[in-house]
Structure 1
């Protein structure tokens, strides 16, 4: 990934002051995306060659969403060292312990019973978040990939590929090639809600849009799909801050 970071100035539009933001150039990006987190604040990710002069106009078009997302970030939401990790999907509770040590990186080791020992740079919340996210990625992939496969066979809803990754704004997605991407933060979600997400994406392999026809298909497998979709919109509240960076 090729990227640069720069602080945007507060630019006055006719009706709205564009907040301070960072710009990151990514060779993997195919379009402009806007992200908001407690750690990075407002971030704009752009493809290589995209004209930065177009960013203010894009931000203005997302004014309502940006203001709502930024308003959710409170001072107490700043990145700190967690003392526990709870995976509702797996009914697991892990206690996090820290051992004073030197080093440029943090290291994580699983210990019994359900203890995570972090050593190294234990005073750096960013490095701690990094090793926790690496661990989260492995746990999520081990859980979600086979589960999707079982649901696919059970419901006769085939797909081609699946990936598990960090996503800030979506629980899952499906491409026209029937390639499904799942958010690793589903581990923090209750089982029936996570199952809804997986079935939702499998149904997109039949129909990619969110038309009434799609919802009718989905409701054959998830009768309360529309109600669950509303619940999932506020799902970011279930995800700890370290898993959002």
Structure 2
């Protein structure tokens, strides 16, 4: 059992099918404005709360979510680490291609090398320290480069004028677009199949002209990506699988 699992507390929560003992963790954030509940990597309730939120208030919220906890703890019995995921799915996606992934260690500065001609990417993380943390950091650095490049490439193809591309660590969203023309995208897009990755980028590029989800927006998106409807249906199951990865 890991140190994290040993540090979890237990609380009894009422559900429609009786009492449930739930392991939980509370994380305080100066940026949080409200309490958010999710399932942690060790199949526990993870409460993200505002910095000054009272402990009692957080527990009261947790106890009010009994049926949600019962359903989600059973549906997601484990959380796969990024390391484990990439061992069973050894590929990353960049520039419209699937790249075969190889991994290793280095005692020098971490680095990656990729080729879209050979469809390969090599990651070398630090030999010292936490493997999961080091791997996440390097994959995010890789994502910063290739997602920005791909977004600018597709923007040029469709004639969309954007101000900046930001690659971030969003909890539930693949991307967003601001009225100023800044597109923000999730680094986990490098784990998403190339056609779906491009669809997400096209979605945000369409928002550059249509800051809504009107019929004009959907018509524009379908012009960018004729397979929009099929790709939309595939995004939800993909998100459920990939969004939990890389959370420490």
Assess same fold via TM > 0.5.
Answer: yes
SS in 1 for 2:23: coil
Unaligned runs of 5+ in 2: 1-6, 115-119
Are residues 178 and 11 of structure 1, via their aligned partners in 2, closer, same or farther at CA, if it must alter by over 3 Å? farther
Structure 1 distance, partners of 2:166, 2:127, is 30
Are residues 216 and 13 of structure 1, via their aligned partners in 2, closer, same or farther at CA, if it must alter by over 3 Å? same
What's the CA shift for 1:6? 7.3
1:74-124 residue CA offsets vs partner (Å, 9 max, x unmatched): 45846766647411344322223458x9xxxx97455898554445347xx
C-alpha RMSD of matched pairs (Å): 3.9
Aligned length: 231
SS in 2 for 1:137: helix
Are residues 176 and 61 of structure 1, via their aligned partners in 2, closer, same or farther at CA, if it must alter by over 3 Å? farther
Please name the residue that 2:103 is paired with: 96
What's the CA shift for 1:26? 1.2
Unaligned runs of 5+ in 1: none
Of residues 127-136 and 156-165 in structure 1, the stretch that sits farther from structure 2 once superposed is 156-165
Q: How does 1:97-112 map to 2 (within 5 A)?
A: 97=104, 108-110=110-112
Matched, 1:44 2:47: yes
Please tell me whether the aligned partners of residues 81 and 132 of structure 2 are also in contact (alpha carbons under 8 angstroms). no
Are residues 225 and 41 of structure 1, via their aligned partners in 2, closer, same or farther at CA, if it must alter by over 3 Å? farther
Please tell me whether the aligned partners of residues 29 and 47 of structure 1 are also in contact (alpha carbons under 8 angstroms). yes
Structure 2 distance, partners of 1:62, 1:145, is 41
What's the CA shift for 1:40? 7.0
Please name the residue that 2:201 is paired with: 198
So what's the TM-score if we normalise by structure 1?
0.71
Please name the residue that 2:3 is paired with: none
Please name the residue that 2:189 is paired with: 186
Of residues 220-229 and 71-80 in structure 1, the stretch that sits farther from structure 2 once superposed is 71-80
